[in-house]
Amino acid sequence: MKQPRPMKTFVLQEQGPIELTHATISYFFPKVEASVKTHSSTPMEAPIRATEFLRFTLLSLLFFVCRSSPSHDLLISNAERRIDLTSHIVKVYLTLKVENAGSTPTSEILLAFPPTQVDHLATVEALVTKGKRKKTTLARLDVTPTELPDAPNGTKYFTIYLTNPLNSGESTTLEVLYLFTHSLEPFPAEIGQSESQLVYYRDSALILSPYHIKQQTTFLKTPSTKVESFTRVEPTNRAGTEMKYGPYEDRHPYTFSPILIHFENNSPFPVVEELVREVEISHWGNLQVTEQYTLVHGGARHKGVFSRVDYQSRPNMNGVSSLRYLLARLPPRVHSVYYRDEIGNISSSHLRTDSRKSELEIEPRYPLFGGWKATFVIGYGLPLQDFLFESSDDRRYLNFTFGCPLLDTVVDKLTVKVVLPEGSKDPSAVVPFTVEQHLETKYSYLDVVGRTVVVMEKKNLVPVHNSHFQVYYTFKPIFMLAEPLMLASAFFLFFVACVAYLHIDLSIRK
């Protein structure tokens, strides 16, 4: 039986901007909702106690909100937020004009996120605008997560550090980019081969901020004009693929209004559940890279029977949200490329190389629908002189990219292993973001003491994390003679043994 679409009956609603209500608290702060549901003993006393508990919780939250405002001197004169929903990675572009209305300078600005969004937050970047008119430039700022002891019910913060303190009466403009993964919820959760993929997106029409906002506007861009339903918070306008919430005037700190959008998104949701990249350094002139993938389609699960005939004859109508191929962007001058899975080598791949980049287009053995998985391995070699250098203190370092070479892919867990040559000492890694690091030992051919392996792990990665990292180590060239001497010694002993065997008389009698 075909699953109905109940969203048209209860998602479309109209509500005004609110500060602290039962609905908004249950969405942004689920702890309070759970407490209200469980704080009752009898059916007669449940509504009264729930109402009293809700009033007490609202008063407590208001008290904490007043206390937890990080700086009453800062205010946001204008805020514009643009949310891109065209792919399975939600991109949010936030422009803030911050003013210092106090008497003391400040160099820190806080960003607030509800706890339901922090779990899906992949990265936060901030830029500051310098100059005026045509001479404006953008400078990158440091952003770090911050814990506040009096945060209202699980609110998470990130601190933006300004290069120059913001004096009293001055203002500055910040450009903030943050990305969310696994934020689009498929509904229906299962679809047939010929059905389109519909998803939910939950957010707030108002920006959750610890500062007073004079004026704010939110824009949302959908991949198509097919929107099943959306929440209205007047003023709300919709034109084509864009929806506009606002402008809203004079909103107090932590004011928010939840919205729910149900729309069509037929883009595939490639998610790498686990990726292990092993980069092996050989001082004989080669850099060998091996990548092991566990890939899954994170969209609406496929139901029914898969028909290869319909899929190939009518590709625009059957499996529009399926994952047909993958594109991996590899370094230039790549060689010895292979692509295989558990069965063996897969020949359906195309490699395009030039002096600046290399692109590997691969097709799985079967198209991936929602919930389907595929495991495969990509390997290739690179010239060592393009990635291994010497520092001023006579140390060697590897300069390589951290992340996943597959385009538009979310990686739940990434493990990068850099295998150093035998005899390397004092390894250290420099990564532009926080990762977990530890050392291992790997034994390969003709190894005596083993090779040191620098292991780096990180979760929830997006293409923005494809930046360079460095691994420093010390190495004496004399260790390069270890393997040739071992081979020469082995052959020499073998021939000595053969000569001795031929000249020894092992007979019992002459």
Q: How far from 130 is each of 50, 166, 177, CA to CA, in Å? A: 52, 13, 17
Looking at residues 387-399, what average pLDDT do you find? 91
In the chain, pLDDT over 90 holds for what percent of residues? 54
- Is the bond preceding residue 4 a cis peptide, omega within 30 degrees? no
pLDDT of residue 222: 94
Lowest mean pLDDT across 51-55, 94-98, 224-228: 51-55
- Residue 508: pLDDT above 90? no
Sorting pLDDT into bands at 50, 70 and 90, what band is 479? low
Strand partners, 38: none
Q: Is the pLDDT of residue 1 over 60?
A: no
Give the model confidence (pLDDT) of 15-48 as tens digits: 444 444 433 444 444 443 333 333 333 333 434 3
Question: What pLDDT is attached to residue 188?
Answer: 92
Mean of all residue pLDDT scores within the chain? 83
DSSP per-residue codes, 323-354: B--EEEEEPSS-EEEEEE-SS-B---EEEEE-
User: What is residue 256's three-state secondary structure?
Assistant: strand
pLDDT digits (tens, 9 = 90+) for 239-291: 999 999 989 999 999 888 999 999 999 999 999 999 999 999 998 889 999 99
Q: Quick check: pTM over 0.85? A: no
In sequence order, which residues have a C-beta less than 8 Å from that of residue 450 and are 6 or more positions away?
422, 441, 442, 443
* Range in 4-13, 116-125, 225-234, 469-478 the model is least confident about: 4-13
Percentage of residues in the chain with pLDDT exceeding 70?
84
**For residue 153, which amino acid is it?**
N
pLDDT at 279: 96
Summarize pLDDT for 329-352 with one digit per residue, the tens.
999 999 999 999 888 888 788 899
Give mean pLDDT, residues 386-411: 92
Of the two residues 303 and 317, the one the predictor is more confident about is: 303
pLDDT in tens, 420-456: 998 889 999 999 999 999 999 998 877 778 889 999 9
- pLDDT 10s digits, 146-164: 988 877 878 899 999 998 8
Per CATH, 7-264 and 270-481 having the same topology is answered: yes
The sign one gets for the Cα dihedral 62, 63, 68, 70 is positive
pLDDT at 72: 56
Whether the pLDDT of residue 7 is over 50: the answer is: no
| DSSP conformational letter for 115 | H
How is the chain split into domains, by residue range?
7-264, 270-481
Angstrom distances, CA of residue 344 to CA of 197, 295, 300, 339: 33, 17, 29, 9
Q: CA–CA distance from 264 to each of 56, 188, 241, 267 (Å)? A: 41, 11, 11, 9
pLDDT at 348: 82
CATH code, 270-481: 2.60.40.1730
128: nearest Cα among 144, 141, 111: 141
Cβ contact 465:179 at 8 Å = no
Taking each helix axis as running N to C, give the angle between helix 46-68 and helix 30-38, from 0 to 180 degrees, rounded to the nearest 10: 150
Arch. (CATH architecture) of 7-264: Sandwich (2.60)
